[in-house]
Amino acid sequence: MEVLYRKILAALNDPDPDRKQEAYEKRLTEMYNSEKYAEHNIYPTTNAEYIYAIIAICLELKGSGLSDKETIDTVNSGFSGRRNFFKYLIRCIDLLPNSYQIAERWNISDYDKRVKDGSISYDQFELSDGKIEYSISRCAYAEMFETYGIRSLCKIFCMTDTTAYSNLTKHVKFIRYSDLSDGDCCHDIILDKKKNKG
């Protein structure tokens, strides 16, 4: 993650990247040694080490005067290579006639794992013919960001779903009503376009 932050600093044309890099590494080390990290590093389906590294980057960028939108855009641009590969894979899946069924299996598997380890609390998870709908009232990702007073920047992780489904459009329609970065719940609907026309 240190390499990613260095890349971000270069993209921002930071005049003192060595000092900023050192400050980031110091902050992250302190965060890893905190009681909060120990509390958060208990869920098999979340990678607290990775999430905390992103939180530390966000805190450094916010400390440099960037707005929430600028921080989110800057972090996302740092992941452009990885995200472009991810988009390519999703677009390949989009070509398959059973892409909705694949999305359905993803959601069922994720639901089962999250409920088992307690990282996400679902108020609703309903499957019907050609439709998945769920509502989440608690999420470990949002809680980690909230701990450091930057819950709104959890949008970086919330956007993973919207990015994925924006590249899976031939057979699947994704509707997001709200997410936990700036709302009371994450409420999504995934539809099979063949069974839900219009």
Q: What pLDDT is recorded for position 198?
A: 60
pLDDT in tens, 18-39: 999 999 999 999 999 999 999 9
Measured between alpha carbons, how far is residue 10 from residues 20, 85, 164 in Å? 11, 22, 27
Q: What pLDDT is recorded for position 144?
A: 98
Domain membership of residue 30 (yes or no) is yes
Please say which residue of 79, 105, 135 terminates a domain.
79
Please say which residue of 26, 51, 79 terminates a domain.
79
pLDDT in tens, 96-118: 999 999 999 999 999 999 999 99
The H or E element containing residue 148 is none
The confidence band for 3, taking pLDDT boundaries of 50, 70 and 90, is confident
Can you read off the two tokens belonging to residue 122? 């679902």
Are 119 and 181 in the same domain?
yes
Domain count for the chain, please give it. Answer: 2
Q: What is the pTM of this model?
A: 0.93
Are 93 and 180 in the same domain?
yes
Are 34 and 98 in the same domain?
no
Measured between alpha carbons, how far is residue 128 from residues 68, 131, 134 in Å? 37, 5, 12
Q: What pLDDT is recorded for position 81?
A: 72
Buried b or exposed e, range 48-69, using 16+ CB within 10 angstroms? beebbbbbbbbbbbbeeebebe
Are 104 and 186 in the same domain?
yes
Are 87 and 65 in the same domain?
no
Are 18 and 60 in the same domain?
yes
* Whole-number Å distance between alpha carbons of 194 and 33: 51
Burial class from Cβ neighbours inside 10 Å (0-12, 13-18, 19+) for residue 174 reads middle
Question: Residue 128 above 90 pLDDT?
Answer: yes
Phi-psi region of 102 (alpha: psi -120 to 50; beta: other; left: phi over 0): alpha
pLDDT in tens, 149-197: 999 999 999 998 998 999 999 999 999 999 999 999 999 999 999 998 7
Domain membership of residue 180 (yes or no) is yes
Are 114 and 166 in the same domain?
yes
**Cross-strand bridge partners of residue 187:** 135, 178
* Whole-number Å distance between alpha carbons of 28 and 157: 19
pLDDT in tens, 41-61: 999 999 999 999 999 999 999
Q: What pLDDT is recorded for position 192?
A: 97
Can you read off the two tokens belonging to residue 54? 């992103």
Domain membership of residue 197 (yes or no) is no
Half-sphere exposure (Cβ direction) of 60: Cα atoms closer than 13 Å: 27
The residue range of the domain holding 172 is: 83-192
Please say which residue of 79, 109, 124 terminates a domain.
79
